[in-house]
Amino acid sequence: MIIYPDIELQGGKCVHLYKGAAEDPIVHSETPLAAAKRFVAEGAEWLNVIDLDKVFNKGNNTEAIAEIIRTAGCNVQVGGGVRSIEQVRKWVDAGASRVVIATAAVKDPDFVKEAALAYPDQIAVSIDSYGGHVAIDGWRNTTVFTPSEFASQFGEVPLAAIILTDIDRDIDQPHASIAHVTELSTHIRTPVIASGVVKTLDDVSTLKFMPNVSGAVVGRALFDETFTLPDALHIAMEPAQPVAQFM
CA end-to-end distance (rounded Å), the chain: 32
Tell me the C-alpha distance between 128 and 143, whole Å.
10
Of residues 185, 128, 123, 130, the one with CA closest to residue 158: 123
Cβ neighbours of residue 7 closer than 8 Å, sequence gap 6 or more: 14, 32, 35, 36, 39, 47, 48, 49, 50, 68, 219
CB 204 within 8 A of CB 181: no
Cα-Cα-Cα-Cα dihedral sign, residues 142, 143, 149, 151: negative
Three-state DSSP at 8 gives: strand
Please state, as a whole number, how many other Cβ atoms lie within 10 Å of the Cβ of residue 7. Answer: 28
- Active-site positions read 8, 128
Q: Which among 13, 50, 47 is positioned nearest to 31, based on CA atoms? A: 13
Tell me the C-alpha distance between 96 and 247, whole Å: 52
